Amino acid sequence: MKESTKEKLVVRERRIFSDALKKSAVKNLVNKRVTVHQLAREHQVTTNTIYRWLYKYSPFHERKCTLVVQMESEATINGDLQKRIAELERAVGQKQLEIDFLNKLFEVGSAELGFDLKKNFSTQPSNGSDVTKLKGVS
């Protein structure tokens, strides 16, 4: 039979850090002298504890506040896409004005000539079954 080796569970004593130490750690973190992970390793606490200190003692960080970090290239791409959208919207607007103008032109022309230009303006439909002869060819 195997002998089971039972290890005693070691419970670390509860530590209480002073406000001055927490403020100093947060100041170093805000000034980018250390990272969250470095502070956590140095004080042997979890990163969540460091973030709680950060939210409590930093004037720049608030809980439930989302900071949007956007790379410069993404901002440039977004700006270019916005410009392209504006160009396309202008083009659509110009085409719509052209369509409206031509429709009004057909209305005025039809009123002046006395018949509907839209219906009579098109060519006769082609009859695809007839044989056509080319000029100059016998």
**Which phi-psi region, left, alpha or beta, contains residue 44 (left: φ > 0; alpha: ψ -120 to 50)?**
left
Whether residue 13 lies inside any domain: the answer is: no
Whether residue 7 lies inside any domain: the answer is: no
Do residues 46 and 77 share a domain?
Answer: no
Task: Confirm if 54 and 26 have CB atoms less than 8 A apart.
Answer: yes
Q: Which two structure tokens, joined as six digits, stand for 14? A: 């509860």
Quote the pTM value: 0.39
Do residues 47 and 85 share a domain?
Answer: no
Number of domain units in the chain:
2
Do residues 51 and 79 share a domain?
Answer: no
The pLDDT score that the predictor gives to residue 81 is 93
| Distance separating alpha carbons of residues 21 and 38, to the nearest angstrom | 15
Q: Which of 33, 57, 81 is the last residue of a domain?
A: 57
The pLDDT score that the predictor gives to residue 64 is 66
Whether residue 64 lies inside any domain: the answer is: no
Whether residue 107 lies inside any domain: the answer is: yes
| Distance separating alpha carbons of residues 33 and 37, to the nearest angstrom | 12
Whether residue 50 lies inside any domain: the answer is: yes
Whether residue 133 lies inside any domain: the answer is: no
Whether residue 80 lies inside any domain: the answer is: yes
What residue numbers bound the domain in which 101 lies? 72-120
Task: Confirm if 75 and 83 have CB atoms less than 8 A apart.
Answer: no
pLDDT in tens, the chain (138 residues): 555 667 788 787 888 999 999 999 999 998 889 999 999 999 999 999 999 998 888 877 766 666 666 666 777 888 899 999 999 999 999 999 999 999 999 889 888 888 887 776 556 666 666 666 666 655
Whether residue 126 lies inside any domain: the answer is: no
